[in-house]
Amino acid sequence: MVPDLSKIQTLLVDADLNTRRILRAMLARMGMDKVLDHGTLAEAASSPSTIDLVILDADQADGAAFRWVHAIRHGLTTLNPFVGAIVMTWNPTQQLMIRFASSGADDILVKPYSPKQVQDRLVNLVENRKKFVVTSDYIGPDRRRSPREGQVVQLIDVPNPLRLKCTGEYERVNIHELTAQAAQVIDAEKVVRHGFQVAFLVEFALPGLSLNPPEKRAVDHALRVVGVLEDLERRLPPGDLRVEATHHIRRMEVVAHTLKTRGFLSPDELERLRQDAHALMGLTSRVDDAEKRVQEVMAAVNGYRSRLEQLAMAKAAPAEAAAQPS
């Protein structure tokens, strides 16, 4: 039995007017007549916070649609961060699918699609929406087939506006309160993940930063810390934790600025960067044992280095084979 979709408020974004007309007609036949449609993301940016579902074209330059979904999930737009999100594409390339997987969107539609395919996606969002997971750079549905060994990722129940509307529960709950409660859980998990990520990036970068001149990849990874610190600070709860964490954040920002402007760091600055990174992780981690925290970070660093080496070897293999005499 198809749920009653008539109360769902939908935002449709596609540069092609004909595509918007066709999809609006499909949605109308399903009882969904509360549809706002725009040709650009710039026009859609002012959409009301009451939107329950976003359907947008993903074939825009530079992955703009995926960045917008990512911003929605991270609470950087006026929309509910837990809206249903479906992206559309004519060309599901491997690169596009990677962007889809990392954006936080719920589902994808490949054009041309049938009314049944659209309906199936909507029903699945209402009845079988996946719980959310949080990493340092991702918030969205859990798409893991098999988690990495030793990795514990919290599955988070988030309010599903589509389901609430279809079941008639929306009027009986306080959606703003539910959203705020879920956002608090997300923030708490993000703080933990960011604290680990800061230590990970610093430990990965330190050997390369110690070289003269510093290794470019090491500099790039060290400077990525700045964005992580900004989002971490934004999500810190008021109180002693925020005060102590902000102290280390400011010190690390100074060192990062020095690296960006001067191009290298002194041994003392490198050590200070490492100490602040681990102090910050200690404040935000759920692991009390400092030695165990360091072991977890170094295991992640070593695993990452191994994957980078494997990728480099895989890229080099075809060139080496081509250079061999026939």
Encode the chain in three state secondary structure. CCCCCCCCCEEEECCCHHHHHHHHHHHHHCCCCCEEEECCHHHHCCCCCCCCEEEEECCCHHHHHHHHHHHHHCCCCCCCCCCEEEEEECCCCHHHHHHHHHHCCCEEEECCCCHHHHHHHHHHHHHCCCCEEECCCCEEECCCCCCCCCCCCCCECCCCHHHHHHHCCHHHCCHHHHHHHHHHHHHHHHHHHHHHHHHHHHHHHHHHHCCCCCCHHHHHHHHHHHHHHHHHHHHCCCCHHHHHHHHHHHHHHHHHHHHHHHCCCCHHHHHHHHHHHHHHHHHHCCCCCHHHHHHHHHHHHHHHHHHHHHHHHHHHHHHHHHHCCC
Res 32 pLDDT > 90:
yes
- Average pLDDT score over residue span 186-196: 96
pLDDT, one tens digit per residue, over 299-309 is 999 999 999 99
User: What is the model's pLDDT at position 2?
Assistant: 78
- Average pLDDT score over residue span 68-77: 95
User: What is the model's pLDDT at position 324?
Assistant: 66
Res 326 pLDDT > 70:
no
Res 219 pLDDT > 80:
yes
In the structure, what pLDDT confidence band is assigned to residue 60 with cuts at 50, 70 and 90? confident
User: What is the model's pLDDT at position 229?
Assistant: 98
User: What is the model's pLDDT at position 312?
Assistant: 86
Query: According to the CATH classification, is domain 10-173 in 3.30.565.10?
Result: no
Res 23 pLDDT > 70:
yes
User: What is the model's pLDDT at position 7?
Assistant: 95
pLDDT, one tens digit per residue, over 142-184 is 987 655 544 567 899 999 999 999 999 999 999 999 999 999 9
Per-chain mean pLDDT for the chain: 93
User: What is the model's pLDDT at position 151?
Assistant: 56
| In the chain, domain spans | 10-173, 183-323
Question: pTM value?
Answer: 0.89
Res 321 pLDDT > 70:
no
User: What is the model's pLDDT at position 152?
Assistant: 66
